[in-house]
Each structure stands twice: as structure tokens, then as C-alpha cells.
Structure 1
Amino acid sequence: MPKLLFSKIRLYKIKDLMENVKRPRRRKKDIQCRMVTKINDETYPSNLSWQTDHKLHPTMEKLLRDKKYLAAFRSFLQSEFSEENIEFWLSCEDFKSTASPDDLGWKAEEIYRKFIQPTACREINVDHHIREKIKKSLEKPSLCCFDEAQKHVYLLMERDSCPRFLHSDAYLSLKHKSSTLWYI
């Protein structure tokens, strides 16, 4: 068995020595000033609260820009049977990047048939008024004909799906992997 480095007697001697050492006395004023600077300091751990906790998680915009998070979010939506939302949003982004006016017509029709039409195979949840506006805009499609529906779907994902995704195992494992691979 290894021997103890310090016995009780030695600890008492060290304690007695420490009592004999004179320490500078702090004035109450100094302590209050230090407390204020500590509280106002952003890196102070007790400042983390529900107000700053949301900054630790990525926003919906960041999820859609990062390929790894987007793939994880897409698979999460598939598990919840709502992947049509992300597919519609991505299709709209692709539609907005269309340079040729000739391609606008067939791309708009394709998006309408796939996502907007009442009997669509991947029908998204938008109200009747938005559907009618899109249907009328298909006569002369423009780059912004799906904007209102895309915004509606984005807000739906941001308010409903994204918070659940941020608490899901898929996101937490991806976040853990990205934080542990920094040394490779």
C-alpha cells in the first residue's frame, strides 16, 4: 500500500503556517466594484440564462446553410413524415436561382404539381388564398411567385420542426461529433 504523503500532523502544521501569513484586507468598496465587473462580463458563466441559451443553438437559417445540419434536419423531417416542407423550400430556392425566362414556366408548373396542387403527392400545408395566388401567377410566372408559400413553410419549420430537431438525438449526436473532431 502506498504511504500517505501528508499525515494529520503535517496538515495541521500547514494550516497553522497559513494563519500566520498576513493577507491584505479588502475593503468593501473594492469587492463591490469587482462584483459589478464580473456580473457585466459576458464570459461569466452565471450569465448564461434562458435569454442567451438560444444563441448556443444554430438558427434555422444556419441549419439550412450548413450541409451536415441540413442533411440531419432533412432526415429528422423524414422521420416525422414532413420532409415535403424542406423539399419545397429547397425547390423554391432553386427556382429563384433560375436565370433563363424559358425555364421559369416549366419549373413553376413542376413545383405547383408536386407541392401546391390539392392532390399533390407531396402537398404542403398552406391556406387556400396562397394556393389561388400561386395558381393565378402561373400564367406569367416570376421569380417571386412562390415567396409567400415559401415564407409560410419556413416559419412553420422554424416554429415547429426546428425546436424539436434541436432536442433530437440526431442533432445532439451531430453536435457532439463536430465538437470532438476538432483535434483531427
Structure 2
Amino acid sequence: MPTPHETEKQHIGPEEADQPPSMSSHDAAPPAAPSRNPCCLCWCCCCGCSCATPSPEEVRSWAQSFDKLMHSPAGRSVFREFLRTEYSEENMLFWLACEELKAEANQHVVDEKARLIYEDYVSILSPKEVSLDSRVREGINKKMQEPSAHTFDDAQLQIYTLMHRDSYPRFLSSPTYRALLFQGSSQSSNEA
């Protein structure tokens, strides 16, 4: 289901940028990348995944830092659902696509994935265009002549920062997150 184009674009300066949690080789990498039409909203995109029901401790940890939320498959899933309600799911989809691209070693696949990411999230003609400043957009346009697994690093950082500064605080005060906290505290009380 296509998400409506955001009416207002926000720009984040480099002085506001935080480092995103990259799923580099030293992290526990997910077994598979998300497909274009996932059956569930987790990174691994398998219907029987363990991220469907996060533990109460895991849910509480998401409020400690945005990095903890983004490192958690269940956290990414819940946050993505929240972003969908704000018509900004494309930010998470772009971030995930960049993570998938960074894990790719085959140059032919990198070229194709980079082209798809560009068409889906960077092109001004895309209904899922993410909000990027002109400097980052120009850099991508130059890098697209010879794409690499890191073509979108600056853009990914900018979108990560946007989600962290803009959407994450609203997520923490949302009924969705509060319901998960309440469910976790009820579960803990029942077990005691």
C-alpha cells in the first residue's frame, strides 16, 4: 500500500547528526533482508519469528535509546507500524534498504539495489521520496554513476537522525508504545 507523500519536509544539519546503529559484520546480522512486500514487519520477514512478542524488558529498553529500538527486530517492527500512522514509513523502509545494500558484496547486485533505492526513495518522482537536503541529494547523484554499497550512507544517516529527533519522541508517548509497556507490566505482575 503506497504511503502518501509527506507534505512538510524537515532538514537536519550535520551538527545534529547521531550515528545510526549499522548492522556491520561484528553485529548479529539478520538472516535475510526484508522483501518488498513482507508478510510481517520484522527485519527477517519470516512469519514465525520471535520478534512478534517482545519481552517486557526489551520494550522498556526502547525508551533508553533510539539505538536500542533500532537494533531490536521487534522494536523496528513496532516503530515501523507507528511511522505508518504518521505517513512516514518510507523513512524506515529506506533505512532498511540501505542496511541491505551495505551487506551486499556482488557488484552487479549492488548496482541493481542502488538503482532501486534511488528510484524508490531518492527520486523526486517517487511517492515514497524521503526528505534529504540538497547537499546529500547531489552527492548521491554523483555516486550513482558508479554505485557502491555505501552510496547512500550520508542519506541514511540523515534519515536516521530525522527519525530519532522527530518521530522517536512521539513514538515513546504514543498509545502503541504505552500499550506495550502496560502489557509488559501486567505480564510481570501476573508472573510474580
What range describes the TM-score normalised by the shorter chain of this pair?
Answer: 0.5 to 0.7
In structure 1, how many angstroms separate the alpha carbons of the residues matched to 2:98 and 2:127? 17
Rg larger in structure: 1
In the alignment of these two chains, the number of paired residues is 130
Residue 120 of structure 1 and its aligned partner are, at CA, apart by 1.1
1:166 is aligned with what amino acid? L
Residue 121 of structure 1 and its aligned partner are, at CA, apart by 2.1
After TM superposition, the structure 1 = structure 2 runs for residues 47-58 of structure 1, keeping only pairs within 5 Å, are 57-58=63-64
Give ranges in structure 2 of 5+ residues lacking alignment.
1-60
In structure 2, how many angstroms separate the alpha carbons of the residues matched to 1:146 and 1:160? 21
- Structure with bigger helix share is 1
Distance of aligned partners of 1:56 and 1:105 in 2 relative to their CA distance in 1, 3 Å threshold: closer
Q: Does 1:114 align with 2:125?
A: no
- Quick check: 1:117–1:131 contact (8 Å CA) kept in 2? no
- Aligned position for 2:161: 155
1:166 corresponds, among 139, 149, 172, to 172
Residue 122 of structure 1 and its aligned partner are, at CA, apart by 0.4
In structure 2, how many angstroms separate the alpha carbons of the residues matched to 1:86 and 1:111? 13
In structure 1, how many angstroms separate the alpha carbons of the residues matched to 2:101 and 2:140? 14
2:68 corresponds, among 62, 65, 76, to 62
2:142 corresponds, among 136, 141, 148, to 136
Q: 4+ residue stretches of structure 1 with deviation over 4 A?
A: none
- Quick check: 2:62–2:69 contact (8 Å CA) kept in 1? no
Instruction: String of CA shifts for 1:108-139, please: whole Å, max 9, x gaps.
Output: 00000000011112000001221121111111
- When the two chains are superposed, the root-mean-square deviation of aligned CA atoms in Å is 1.8
Q: Does 1:85 align with 2:91?
A: yes
- Quick check: 1:84–1:123 contact (8 Å CA) kept in 2? yes
2:100 is aligned with what amino acid? D
- Quick check: 2:62–2:68 contact (8 Å CA) kept in 1? no
Residue 75 of structure 1 and its aligned partner are, at CA, apart by 1.0
Instruction: Provide the TM-score with structure 1 as the length reference.
Output: 0.66
Residue range with higher mean Cα deviation, 86-95 or 134-143: 134-143
Q: Does 1:105 align with 2:115?
A: no
- Quick check: 1:114–1:123 contact (8 Å CA) kept in 2? yes
3-state SS of paired residue (1:181): helix
